[in-house]
Chain A
Amino acid sequence: MSDVIAAETLKLPHLNYGALAPMLVLFGAACVGMLVEAFVPRRSRPAVQLVLSLLAVAAALVAVVMRSGTHTITAGGAIAIDGPTLFLQGSILVLGLVALLLMAERSLERGGAFVAQAAITAGSEADRQQAARDPGGTDVYPLALFAMAGMMLFVSANDLLTMFVALEVFSLPLYLLCALARRRRLLSQEAALKYFLLGAFASAFFVFGIALLYGFAGTVDFAGLNNAVRTSTQSTVLLYAGLAMLAIALLFKAAAAPFHVWTPDVYQGAPTPITGFMAACTKVAAFGALLRVLYVGFERVSWDYKPVLGAIAILTMLVGSVLAVTQTDIKRLLAYSSVANAGYLLVGVLAVSRAGLSSTMFYLVAYGFTVLASFAIVTLVRDPDGEATHLSRWAGLGRRSPLLAGVFTFFLLAFAGIPLTSGFTSKFAVFSAALEAGDVGLWLVIAGVVSSMILAFPYLRVVVMMWLSEPGETTPTVSIPGALTSAALMVGVVATLLLGLVPQPVLDLTNRAAEFIR
């Protein structure tokens, strides 16, 4: 008996630590961050946490860049490191870096944008005391690092179970982060609860889909699934139902209609730096995973899912643009714009070609920078009660602070797709990929053009508000941005301008990276 146990030693899967280094660095730094929360004195925690997070993200970014060209599956077939993985991980890291800068800003509000002790009941006497006195909690940093690491795992997962684990790893910190606003805590907690409940439903769909697909294919990794489409003897109802459930979960995270309903409320209630983080990085993660699922796992059924997802894309673009027209709150307006942009991203995804993959990745990066910087400007428009997000409060801002209003106008023009901005080149990329792929692509481009027309109206309304309206008595001042927010804004402006004027380098990068490993 003993020699049987001795002979069969447990064979652990080989871990390519080099390829996994970026994620390991972030997970490690997040754990160290939690220890910092426990042991470092409160006064020096913000600085220590910020430095730790920035260093970790920078190190992970260096690790990603050093691994460029890798094309391998590791960790027992659970993680795939290929071109898209590295590009998307790099995007998440860069966008996350900018988001961290926004989170760390403390000069706009004493104590920062986050509440000191989230567990205190909102509105109670203790809460009033902490709002007046205590510096903000710094647990946002390890939570953000966990979220980023989870996102990186999400886009590199090679089988559905790993993907599910990653989904939970990055979603749970995000639910928490949404609840941590310093001002309007009830709104923030409500947003977090909505996100959590709906996200839990989405995760449930995901797991149910995995179960159905396992029943169909007998395996959960993508290569096996792709094979099983051809060879499986099970009923294809399992396949389509499973794929549908999977798609629902992924589209929820991507904020596509009709699974977008959480987006305006959550974006509005969450602290603005977290909103920016979600708008940029969660989109990258969600679309990265969607691309891998559709292109690697289910390429053989692309003829079947294209019409359905095409209809969803058209619905998303139209819903996002039509509902944005009536918005009166800038954060909700940007949220609906985010929904419409998810539609444009779906247009790129549905090209199901190399061009589709590279154009979607380009759009994710271009959009991420612009939307992060837009939310950075939203943090700057404040009055003594906090951020002034109602559009009427933005009247005449162009008169008071022409530079910031000019920068925000530039971002709105980028969202509208005016040439010489990244918004135009990214839209052109996805539209051209879709039209080239043919069939449903024509309708997608037409819907994209129509929704761009509709979306121009609310963007223009904000521009009119800022420049062509007289400032009222209630127009808030625009705070002078601190160094961190200025850095974030600068990155956003430069990226939007450069990707619009000289997109060729990044286009080359996405083209070279656009090959999945199976």
Chain B
Amino acid sequence: MSAFPYLSILTIAPLVGGIVVACLPRQRPTLAKRVALVWSLAILALTAVMWVAFKPNGPRFQFRESYPWIPTWGVRFTFAADGIALVMLALIAVLVPIVILASWHDAEGGRRSVPAYFALILALQSTMFGVFAAADVFLFYAFFEVMLVPMYFLIGSYGGHQRQYAAVKFFLYSLVGGLFMLAAVVGLWVVGGHTFDWATLTRIDMSTGAERWLFLGFFLAFAVKAPFFPFHTWLPDAGAAAPAGAAALLVGVLDKVGTFGILRYCLPLFPNASRYFAPLAFALALVGILYAALLAVGQNDLKRLVSYTSIAHFGFIGVGIFAFTTQAGTGSVLYMLNHGLATGLLFLVVGMFVARRGSALISDYGGVGKLVPVLAGIMLFAALASLSLPGLGPFVSEFLVLIGTFTVNKTVAVTATVGIVLAAAYALWMVQRTTQGTLNPALSTVEPMRRDLNLREAVVVAPLVVLLLVLGFYPKPVIDVINPAVTATLQQDVGVQDPVPTNGTTEAGR
């Protein structure tokens, strides 16, 4: 355990930066952008130091800090990170500077304040760090709800068409889910003997009925966040209306809170209920994979399409979590990381398209590859990552999820595999309709469309491309961090062991 308070600094520093940026005058937007970028890079550096300091074979929870907050209710400011949380924190630290750089010009043109936009992004980063680093259930809930406020303003004030409706829908859906979780949190406090400490709560006994109701309260909130079918309808609207950078953070990180919450809170705190409701979760996840993929194929709006693909991917993550094997669990967490990178890249590329053309509709594009070949190539790369092409990060995670599920439930695994076919359909067709084929005559009058990737945009996509390639060929460092945490979750908390491999001879071995 390190004595240096990495986690509390990581949680507070972006907020401080956000306040500083918010106080900068409106007439100096460039200064605000630079301060925000430098600040987020400093936070990235600190996160990298923390990653190196983490010992994968050490204690499960590291960097633990605990400060008193509200003794009457047994609430403390407790931060701790296991492998799963560490990966998520690293994802946030990597994505935010990239998003800031990608959104360099996004907030201009309107009558909104540019410093406020970047201040909101930094404030959002602070709350996201808090959600993943919290080891006290009350603290987790506080960050879970507060997270909604900056994202609401990012969508509502700086978004595009229908932003008001999308922002309100996003806020209300998440708040309603969160309120169910509040009832469950209060119930957990009563049942758990007036404490909110995660480690203590994993060891208490509850009656079956209480455990199931509390599980449902938490699961509902996380199912809205993830989102799982049928609570998914807010995401396409929010993803379509939000500015590209905010949308990348929305699907890249915010949604991960849902699946992370299931891994950290639903499974360890309510293991029997988790096993009881696993079939239901499988069903919702499978429907999500297939239904959302089909809807994605039919979309005409690029951002809505990417949002639907995100719902489909989260179905895979859900399947992996509820398979209760270490392979599938590790695959899920790795999937969360890869999905954040891949879909983040996809949203940012779509944002670059939208910035040039002024429209997100696929019908407004066509044959763009002739005008901006590099950008079109990056879009193809992102689409291939989305459909889990081998050699790119998402393939490893999807493969692990499917293998891990196949050993315990063949039907679910086979059904989920159909999702890969659909993923190929929506990804490749999207690329084909926008960047290949005959050039859309309407584009000849759009001057920005002739400008290929400039230096800033190249710097934005390069790290994501590199990371996806590295994770596709050499994911071992990350898996080494994730595996012990997932194993601990499944074996200690839920109490399941991996199925023993059968020793039968194969046909070819005869």
Contact = CB atoms under 8 A, between A and B. Distances in A.
Interface of A: 399, 413, 416-420, 424-425, 427-428, 431-432, 435-436, 445-446, 449-450, 452-453, 456-457, 460, 464, 467-469, 502-504, 507-508, 511
Contact of A504 (B71, B141, B145, B164): B71
Interface of B: 69-73, 111, 141-143, 145-146, 148-149, 153, 156-157, 163-164, 167-168, 171-172, 175-176, 179-180, 182-183, 186-187, 189-190
Contact of A467 (B143, B156, B179): B156
Given A418-B149, A432-B190, A468-B156, 16 more contacts: A417-B182, A419-B141, A419-B145, A424-B142, A424-B145, A428-B73, A428-B186, A432-B186, A432-B189, A456-B176, A460-B171, A464-B167, A468-B167, A503-B70, A507-B72, A508-B72
A411 to B, nearest CB: 13
A450 B157 CA distance: 28
A453 B224 CA distance: 14
Contacts of B167: 464, 468
B183 A446 contact: yes
A409 to B, nearest CB: 9
B146 A419 contact: yes
B252 to A, nearest CB: 23
Contacts, number: 80
A504 B73 CA distance: 9
Contacts of B157: 467-468
B142 A432 contact: no
Contacts of A456: 171-172, 175-176
Contacts of A435: 186-187, 190
Nearest to B144: A419
Interface centre among A413, A419, A457 (most CB of B within 10 A): A419
Contacts of A428: 73, 182, 186
Contacts of B189: 432
A450 B179 CA distance: 8
Contacts of B168: 460, 464
A508 B111 CA distance: 47
A449 B190 CA distance: 16
Nearest to B113: A402
B172 A445 contact: no
A454 to B, nearest CB: 9
B190 A504 contact: no
A457 B179 CA distance: 13
A428 B190 CA distance: 12
B73 A432 contact: yes
B73 A445 contact: no
Given A399-B111, A464-B168, A467-B153, A449 B180 contact: yes
A449 to B, nearest CB: 5
Contacts of B171: 456, 460
B115 to A, nearest CB: 12
A468 B172 CA distance: 16
Contacts of A502: 69
B172 A457 contact: yes
Q: Which of B72, B149, B153 has the most CB of A within 10 A?
A: B72
A232 B428 CA distance: 85
A54 B430 CA distance: 70
A507 B190 CA distance: 18
Contacts of A420: 142, 146
A104 B183 CA distance: 42
B158 to A, nearest CB: 10
Contacts of A511: 72
B348 to A, nearest CB: 25
B477 to A, nearest CB: 35
Nearest to B189: A432
B21 to A, nearest CB: 15
B370 to A, nearest CB: 39
A196 B174 CA distance: 43
A67 to B, nearest CB: 24
B146 A418 contact: yes
A424 B156 CA distance: 24
A436 B190 contact: yes
- Of all A-B residue pairs in the complex, the 5 with the closest CB atoms, nearest first, are A419-B142, A507-B72, A449-B183, A468-B164, A453-B176
A131 B168 CA distance: 43
7 contacts: A417-B179, A420-B146, A432-B190, A449-B183, A467-B157, A468-B157, A503-B70
